[in-house]
Chains A and B, each alone.
Chain A
């Protein structure tokens, strides 16, 4: 099977795939979507409350209130990860807890905790971005590409 050309499934394998598929429980996709919507929405609503709290009680504008709001959400997410609760919520909430900034914080905190046993340099430092690293790399890269396109359009006399 290591030969790339042979990777196509044999008839026996294809037969087994359909045999097994018929006996596997399906992922409850619709239910997962609804739960993710509710969980993600709740986190965002909660974030809005935090943002309003900063707006009303401190000297923040709508734009600058974003940073402390995110910081609070990250801290809550990291605490829940450290207490061993976040992964249980995530099994239920799915993308609802993975997509917001809380999921990003969880991926870094969980990896840092996991690899603490390998020391601070090679463990915590080296491995804490093992899941979040690709988000940062491709996030920065796509931002660069978008900025490039925008610059070119502007130079060509666009708006």
Chain B
């Protein structure tokens, strides 16, 4: 049900019946390692290319989530998925393995919440049940496609971010236990003319702010209703800009309730490699479906807003001197056991 300009409210409150997260070796050294279902010690996952490793991670996450929900592959009615690789191949190949009706999505790093919002719409409108929503990213595969070869010695500026190697999958159902998706705000593309692909946080911050303000405007709600508001992958630089921008727009979010998945996933000891923070589809997906939902299930958080941010650029658009259009989608999740 549309409320305001761009927010869907789900009166039937689709349930997140299960989630699964898979991470790589670098994530295993981070502070959220405990929240992953599987952590791989090998960046290749025993495959012969990084792209195949990415696909494998996604397939594993789907399998675990289906198993945790007590379902079988045949019970999955829809599969909504996206990733960062050209022609979203990881998702397409995982859909081949799953055999369920599939919609491929591309929202760059915002795909996690894009798929969750659309999945909730399907379940809420009773157009389907057991909808699998997922996304994946792989550090080396993303570096290869968007930047330089992984072993190339290029110095990165302090605003650069580190693509998360990880897959996150959530299964939505119409009933049962689990946190409920109550609303979703679909973001507009915001382009503030930033052209530096090593400053994604700075480029994406206005999109996050636009979607967060739209969410509270459409629902006529206040940030105080939330226990946690987490942006997807703004990193240190973008998060600071977003927090200040929100203040400028008169939307005060208490500091202890506002965080960024890109800051949570890696620790201080990884800072020299991560630089400004984590990024990639897997960043908001693994942190939200792992760490944040685990905290909700423990009763530490009752209502959260996940604002996944995405930079809709390509290496081609960057080389042709285009600026970076950005987007953010927000999904509100509530858990009252």
Contact = CB atoms under 8 A, between A and B. Distances in A.
A111 interface: yes
Interface in B222-244: 236-237, 240-241, 244
Interface in A1-43: 1-2, 9-10, 12-13, 16-17, 19-20, 23-28, 32
B48 A89 contact: no
A20 B202 contact: yes
B151 A110 contact: yes
A122 to B, nearest CB: 14
Contact of B193 (A17, A32, A113): A17
B245 interface: yes
Interface residues of A, number: 41
The majority secondary structure among interface residues of chain B is loop
Contact of B155 (A1, A13, A90, A131): A90
B151 A84 contact: yes
Interface size class of B (residues with CB under 8 A): 35 or more
Given A1-B322, A117-B48, A117-B49, A20 B155 contact: no
Interface stretch (B6-14, B125-133, B142-150, B294-302): B142-150
B206 A27 contact: no
Interface string A82-117: 101011011101110110000100110111011101
Given A23-B240, A24-B199, A110 B156 contact: no
A98 B153 contact: yes
A115 B150 CA distance: 10
B323 interface: yes
The majority secondary structure among interface residues of chain A is helix
A24 B152 contact: no
A84 to B, nearest CB: 6
A2 B192 CA distance: 14
A19 B152 contact: no
Contact of B149 (A10, A16, A97, A111): A111
Nearest to B160: A91
A16 B153 contact: no
A27 B153 CA distance: 17
Contacts of A103: 153
A28 B156 CA distance: 11
Nearest to B244: A23
Contacts of A86: 151, 153
B51 interface: yes
Given A13-B191, A24-B199, 13 more contacts: A19-B244, A20-B241, A24-B237, A27-B158, A81-B151, A90-B153, A91-B153, A98-B153, A106-B151, A107-B153, A110-B152, A114-B151, A117-B51
Interface of B: 48-51, 144, 148-159, 191-194, 199, 202, 205-206, 236-237, 240-241, 244-245, 273, 276, 322-323, 325
